[in-house]
């Protein structure tokens, strides 16, 4: 019942090239910034966008461009849940849920649909029209409508982003419960790291139409391989050439033990970066003079972005900001110890 896909889509200036291998019972989140090609990938798997390549689901070939084979969307037995739900506005909630069952010519489609609504605690909403539902209810009905057709593959496009922030956590818990009870392949597309980490067992990070990284949320955030992931993990990510005991960057070099050889990433946590008003004399081997670019409050910490030969973010306390009179444009020294740098191959 697994999904094996090799999807290539070419638009005017955009190329999507993704390989996926997902087992049933596993929830995978495609995470990436806007415009990375996430929704295009979802539509391609649903058969709404023609592709070059091959899609195989549960042993059945859904699409193979080399064989000119293409199973149309309505025969793929997949479930597609849109970002803003796309409930049929002219049909009652019950008829929306029954729609897919009627398409399958199941007898007593409405009876089965009523059962789905009852189990979801939405029985009394059956005769309501979609416009009378709250955002959270609409999201649940959209998911029920899809699950009722017993799809082999569930595709969710930004399932929570159309919802109010105040109810997101609740709907996310509910969604996570429903996903766990669904036995097929589950694929979620999102730009929200929180949503991805909360719902998925595995992340696939998509940028500019390509997979830049994949793995469990812990693996991905521990070793970011792109600016997008480094930002969501909140760390400094640098890319350069490993030279044994240091990493060469464009215009600078940082001391790091075990820097290896060849193209590498170097990660420094902002907590490890210290700021000084005068040049520090001490053990830190990495010291540069720079200028404060901007200052941002993150919970009870302050993140200070410094423009120096190596662009860095330092995390300090509000008291430190006050004592050092930090402000945009202030001249500071940045320093961190070589042992705080973690280096891994690019």
Partner 1 sequence: MSQVRIPAALIALAGLGLLFFLLPLAGLIVRAPWDQAVAGITAPETVTALGLSLFCSVAATGIALVLGIPLAVVLSRNTGNLRGVMRALTTLPMVLPPVVGGVALLLAFGRRGLVGSLLDQAFGIQIPFTTAAAVMAETFVAMPFLVIAVEGGLRSLDPRYEEAARALGAKGWMVFARVTLPLLRPAIFSGAVLCWARALGEFGATITFAGNFPGRTQTVPIAVYVALETRPDSAIVLSLILLAVSVAILVGMRDRWLGAL
Indicate whether 14 belongs to the interface with partner 1 (CB under 8 A): no
Binding segment toward partner 1, per CB under 8 A, in 95-103, 132-140, 285-293, 318-326: 95-103
d(CA 229, CA 203): 11
* Minimum CB–partner distance for residue 222 and partner 1 (Å): 36
* Residue 297 in the binding site for partner 1 (CB under 8 A): no
Q: Is 82 in the site for partner 1 (CB under 8 A)?
A: yes
**303 touching partner 1, by CB under 8 A:** no
Q: Which stretch binds partner 1 (CB under 8 A): 77-85, 109-117, 177-185, 191-199?
A: 77-85
Backbone dihedral region for residue 208 (phi beyond 0: left; psi -120 to 50: alpha; all else: beta): left
DSSP string, 5-59: EEEEEE-SS-EEEEEEEE-TT-EEEEE--TTSSHHHHHHHHHTSS--EEEEEETT
Q: Kindly report the CA angle at 138 between 133 and 139, in degrees rounded to 5?
A: 155
By the rule CB under 8 A, 86 interacts with partner 1: yes
96 φ/ψ angles, rounded to the nearest 5 degrees: -60, -45
Distance set, CA 147 to CA 126, 154, 171, 183, 186 (Å) = 16, 8, 16, 10, 11
Q: Do β-strands 60-64 and 69-70 pair in parallel, antiparallel, or remain unpaired? A: antiparallel
The two three-digit tokens of residue 301, written as one number: 């910490």
Q: Which of 2, 29, 38, 99 binds partner 1 (CB under 8 A)?
A: 99
State yes or no: residue 300 binds partner 1 (CB under 8 A): no
Question: Is 50 a binder of partner 1 (CB under 8 A)?
Answer: no
User: Is residue 90 a contact residue for partner 1 (CB under 8 A)?
Assistant: yes
Contact call for residue 251 and partner 1 (CB under 8 A): no
- Taking the complex as a whole, the smallest distance from the CB of residue 147 to partner 1 amounts, in Å, to 11
Q: Tell me, residue by residue from 53 to 72, as one string, x for binding to partner 1 by CB under 8 A and - for no binding.
A: -------------------x
The stretch near partner 1 (CB under 8 A) out of 32-40, 53-61, 86-94, 186-194 is 86-94
Asked if 281 interacts with partner 1 (CB under 8 A), we say no
Residues 118-157 that bind partner 1 (CB under 8 A): 145-146, 149
How large is the C-alpha radius of gyration of the chain? 25
Nearest to 16 by CA among 53, 46, 63, 47: 53
CB of 84 to partner 1, least distance (A): 9
91 CB-contact burial (10 Å; exposed 0-12 / middle 13-18 / buried 19+): middle
Dist. CA 80–CA 339, nearest whole Å: 48
Single out the segment in contact with partner 1 by CB under 8 A; choices: 27-35, 73-81, 124-132, 238-246.
73-81
| HEC profile of 235-252 | CEEEEEEEEEEEEEECCE
**305 neighbors 293 (Cβ within 8 angstroms):** yes
Question: Is 88 a binder of partner 1 (CB under 8 A)?
Answer: yes
Binding-site member from 15, 23, 69, 104 for partner 1 (CB under 8 A): 104
Q: Among 48, 194, 297, 346, which residue interacts with partner 1 (rule: CB under 8 A)?
A: 48
Q: How far is CA 226 from the centre of its chain?
A: 13
Q: Which residues bind partner 1 (CB under 8 A)?
A: 46, 48, 72-80, 82, 86, 88-91, 99-100, 102-104, 145-146, 149
């Amino acid at each position: 019942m697994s999904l094996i896909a090799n999807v290539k889509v070419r638009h005017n200036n955009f190329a999507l090239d993704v390989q996926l291998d997902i087992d049933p019972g596993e929830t995978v989140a495609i995470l990436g910034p806007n415009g990375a090609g996430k929704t295009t990938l979802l539509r391609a798997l649903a058969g709404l966008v023609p592709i070059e390549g091959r899609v195989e689901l549960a042993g059945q070939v859904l699409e193979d461009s080399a064989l000119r084979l293409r199973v149309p969307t309505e025969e793929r037995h997949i479930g597609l849940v849109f970002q803003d739900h796309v409930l049929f506005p002219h049909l009652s909630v019950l008829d929306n849920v029954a729609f897919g069952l009627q398409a399958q010519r199941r007898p007593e489609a409405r009876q089965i649909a009523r059962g789905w609504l009852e189990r979801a605690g939405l029985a009394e909403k059956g005769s309501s029209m979609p416009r009378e539902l709250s955002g959270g209810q609409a999201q649940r009905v959209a998911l029920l409508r899809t699950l009722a057709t017993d799809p082999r593959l569930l595709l969710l496009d930004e399932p929570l982003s159309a919802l109010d922030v105040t109810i997101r956590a609740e709907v996310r818990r509910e969604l996570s419960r429903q996903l766990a009870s669904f036995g097929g392949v589950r694929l979620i597309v999102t730009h929200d790291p929180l949503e991805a980490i909360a719902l998925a067992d595995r992340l696939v990070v998509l940028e500019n139409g390509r997979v830049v990284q994949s793995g469990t949320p812990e693996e991905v955030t521990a070793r970011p391989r792109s600016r997008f992931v480094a930002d969501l993990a909140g760390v400094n990510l640098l890319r350069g050439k490993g030279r044994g005991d240091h990493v060469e960057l464009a215009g600078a070099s940082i001391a790091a033990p075990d820097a290896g050889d060849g193209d590498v990433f170097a990660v420094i946590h902002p907590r490890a970066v210290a700021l000084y008003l005068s040049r520090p004399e001490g053990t830190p081997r990495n010291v540069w003079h720079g200028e404060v670019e901007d200052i941002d409050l993150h919970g009870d910490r302050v993140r200070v972005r410094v423009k120096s030969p190596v662009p860095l973010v330092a995390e300090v306390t509000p008291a430190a900001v006050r004592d050092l009179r930090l402000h945009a444009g202030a001249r500071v020294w940045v320093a961190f110890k070589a042992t705080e740098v973690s280096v891994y191959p690019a």
